[in-house]
Amino acid sequence: MRGCFFIILSILRPGRSTRIEEENQVRSLVQAWSPLVWLAPGEEFLPLGVPEFLENVHAGDNYLRTRESVELLLQNRSSFLYGRKPAGTVPIYALVKSCTALGRFSKAIRSGWSRTNSVRSEDLNILTGVQNNDLLSKESSMDSYEEDNFIFDKRRYRKLHFHVTYWMFYPFSKGKAVCVLDLGFFGSWPIPLVGGKCMGRFKEYGNHVGDWEHMSLYFKTDDYPMAMYVSAHDAGAFYRYDRHSKTFIYEGQETRKGIFQKPIFPERVFTSAGSHPVLFSAKGSHGLWTAPGKHKFVRIPRLYDESGFGTAWPTWQNVEVLHAEDRNPLPGWMTFRGKWGNPKSNCHPLAKLGFNICEFVDGPTGIPMKKLNFQC
């Protein structure tokens, strides 16, 4: 009798079962194309799941601050700042945005994050729980019947069309060592290397607690992506997928912030097992690169990333899919609009004039505050 009830229900409301089927298809594609990330040889600061990070911080003044001093935590190699070996244990967070009728109200996402789903930074208990995904609740509830019939009418059914951003979280990002000359009251000033040698001393700038890195894929109609975006610091590269060679071909790049960043990206990105893009995480800073080696990403002063075949992170072994338009709850931390780390400290005197020259800089903002790399 129960079986007959479900058959009748599925006939009366075909949209529900089709919706689940479509979500399962999206989830399968997201997992099948999740990247293979190579951590750099000798990498000290490994990725970590967000819940464990939240257990070791407290919220206040729009920051997630460590409960102990960063200096003490760095002296303890077993502290959470050093992360965990990632294979199968650390999740990658895949934020999916639908471009079909299912997500036609998705333009409200960013305003929804900033209005309906915002929380005070002091509410750490909220961040560690789950929140109703009411980003589109008003529009969805008013038009749910119309939406179901529009999407699932066989004559007008459209194939999958979405983009997904894969987010990797690291509890600590190591800054860069810069050659400086100590001028006493005026602080330490960067100076160029002479014959490859520092005539002053090296000092690290730009360390920070909390580190979000990402890459994105764009799907339309087919079971393989049309395009890929890979982010490295404040720049990024766009690639198109060539299904014959099963590689991604360079199309162009952008600089999201600053004028001195213009890294060089390789022409081709290879895949593992025919689908997983092979990417390389920079040592310490974790910027994503599409080839191993030494990468100059800032011209003044000259800053380099180093990447290579260290520890493999097969991210598809632990993918947490987040549907922006889904009615299911989102993790509470997805509502946080503040900084994922401590405030800046140990700054250069020029910091008072607005220059961000600090040994420790502010933690980054989280996923809801980031710009999407693809538009529907």
- pLDDT tens profile 252-276: 989 877 656 678 899 999 999 999 9
Counting every residue, how long is the chain? 376
Q: How confident is the model at residue 17 (pLDDT cuts 50, 70, 90)?
A: low
What rounded mean pLDDT belongs to the chain? 81
> What is the 8-class DSSP label of residue 256?
-
Q: Contact 183/203 with Cβ under 8 angstroms?
A: no
* pLDDT of the residue at 176: 86
* pLDDT of the residue at 330: 87
* pLDDT of the residue at 16: 59
Is it the case that residue 94 has pLDDT exceeding 50? yes
Is it the case that residue 117 has pLDDT exceeding 90? no
| Nearest CA among 339, 239, 360, 338 for reference residue 288 | 239
Q: 192: Cβ–Cβ under 8 A, 6 or more apart, which residues?
A: 179, 301
Taking each helix axis from N to C end, the angle separating 2-12 and 14-32, rounded to the nearest 10 degrees, works out to 90
- pLDDT tens profile 221-233: 999 999 999 999 8
The residue ranking higher by pLDDT, 202 or 133, is 202
Is it the case that residue 111 has pLDDT exceeding 90? no
Structure tokens at 20: 């689940």
Q: Where are the domains of the chain?
A: 2-369
Q: How confident is the model at residue 5 (pLDDT cuts 50, 70, 90)?
A: very low
**Rounded distance, CA 164 to CA 167, Å?**
10
- pLDDT tens profile 158-189: 589 999 999 999 999 999 888 888 877 666 77
Q: How confident is the model over 88-93, as a mean pLDDT? A: 96
Q: How confident is the model at residue 93 (pLDDT cuts 50, 70, 90)?
A: very high
Query: 51 to each of 133, 156, 330, 333, 355, how far by Cα in Å?
Result: 19, 42, 13, 9, 33
The residue ranking higher by pLDDT, 21 or 150, is 21
Any long-range contacts for 110-115 (C-beta under 8 Å, 24+ apart)? 110/368, 112/136, 113/335, 113/337, 113/368, 113/369, 114/337, 114/368
Percent of the chain at pLDDT above 90?
A: 56
| Nearest CA among 304, 303, 308, 305 for reference residue 291 | 308
* pLDDT of the residue at 132: 59
Is it the case that residue 127 has pLDDT exceeding 80? no
Q: Contact 297/233 with Cβ under 8 angstroms?
A: yes
**Rounded distance, CA 140 to CA 288, Å?**
36
Q: How confident is the model over 48-68, as a mean pLDDT? A: 97
* pLDDT of the residue at 116: 34
Q: Contact 69/297 with Cβ under 8 angstroms?
A: no
Q: How confident is the model at residue 322 (pLDDT cuts 50, 70, 90)?
A: very high
Q: How confident is the model over 298-318, as a mean pLDDT? A: 87
How far does CA 197 lie from the centroid of its chain? 36
- pLDDT tens profile 328-343: 678 999 989 999 999 9
* pLDDT of the residue at 284: 96
Q: Contact 38/309 with Cβ under 8 angstroms?
A: yes
